Structures are given as structure tokens and as C-alpha cells.
Structure 1
């Protein structure tokens, strides 16, 4: 009988220790993975608003209300021709906002005026660029 009581006591002690260890583990901060997953849209949320290019090029970024965090609507005039205009859905990534338009999959990323490749924007510091020759800046 004494052996049974000792065995039960040991089992209770062991299970109590494992509960403490799992509780301690659950109180630890979230892993880097969850922080990394939320980071892209935290960066790109700062891009919401109006950005101006050259010769009438313009970009307006806003949240896509019907979708979750990191989803955007990009309204853009991205070329001089009338058909180079539209509203496109974009998703935040670690590199920027990925979206697709008639000329293929694109990536909108943070840059300075020099990276736009446009001399009229070269002295700007707060810019977004799709590729050299297509950039938008804020004053």
C-alpha cells in the first residue's frame, strides 16, 4: 500500500512540474515568426495616401476594407497613355506591395528619388518605385 501511495505522489509531483513548465512556456513572448508575419503590413501601412510621379503619374494607396491587414487597393496612373491607368489589388510582402496589372506582376518598394531613375525626383527622399522610370514620391 505504501508503494502505491508513493507512486501516486510521485506521479502528482511530476505532472505538476510538467504543467508549470508548459505554463512558463506559454507565458514567453510570441516567436519571431509571428512578428515577422505582421511586419510587412506594418511597414506598408505607412505608405497609405497619395504619391506623385512625373508628367501626371500618380499613385493612391488605401486599405482594402473587405480584406484583412496587408491588403491594399492601388489606384494608379502609371504611364502617359489613357489605358495605363487602373485600380489594382496589392498584398504586403517583406519586400513591399506585390500586385498584378496588365503588364504583369509588379512589386512596389520603398526607395529614394535617385532609385526612381527620374531626374525630376532625384532629390526626393520619401519615394516608392515599381521599376526605374516609374516612381512616386512625397514632399
Structure 2
């Protein structure tokens, strides 16, 4: 496995947090406006989600939205969501139940192959291969 997963990634977060605590900076108005706008967006999504059952967006989507991983898998999530909407709309509950098992199989197959490649890397003494797309 890569050193970043076990050492550098967590130390980077710790170093950034400790530097921000040790040398605090003044509040920047642009960042404050962005935080307030983001909070209002989440409140809007929450309001819509709790009032209208047909509203497709969840406020939890704001949590992973601005991350490195999301920039790599956003299209796969969009395709999956599109398939789910189409299956629920045209197949109903029965179609959703049947399709859900198929898609669970795809996900488990992806994890199985990734685990197989990691085991082969461990056996061969290799490292640095990516598991995510």
C-alpha cells in the first residue's frame, strides 16, 4: 500500500489544523459569505426534502461534495442515480428490488476484484496501485 494512506494523509490534516490553531488569521469576508451561502443552501435542501416527497436532493450531499474523491467518481454516481430513477419510475417496487440485487452484485464484484489485486500486489511485493478509479 502507499505510504500516503497510512502516514502522510493523516499527518497532513493534523499539520494543517495545528498550524491554524498556532497562527490564527483574521476572518475574510469572501469566505464568510461563502459559508453563509452554503449553510443557507443546506437549509433550503433540508426544507425541500422534508416538505416535498418528490424532491430528489439530500442535504447530506454537501458533506462529500468538495473533496478529491468526489471529483473522480461524480459521473459514476450520476449514472447510478439516473438508473435508479428510471428503474423506480418505470419498474416500480418490483423492478427496484430485482435491479437492486444486480447492482449490489456489481459493487461486490468491484470490491472482490480490488481485493484480489491487492492480495496479488502483496504477494508480488508491489505497491502504489490505485483501487479507486
Q: Which of the five TM-score ranges fits, normalised by the shorter chain? A: under 0.3
Select the structure of larger CA radius of gyration.
Answer: 1
Report which of the two has the higher share of helix.
2
- Pick 1 or 2: higher relative contact order, CA cutoff 8 A, min separation 6: 2
Q: TM-score, normalised by structure 2?
A: 0.24
Report which of the two has the higher share of strand.
1
Q: TM-score, normalised by structure 1?
A: 0.23
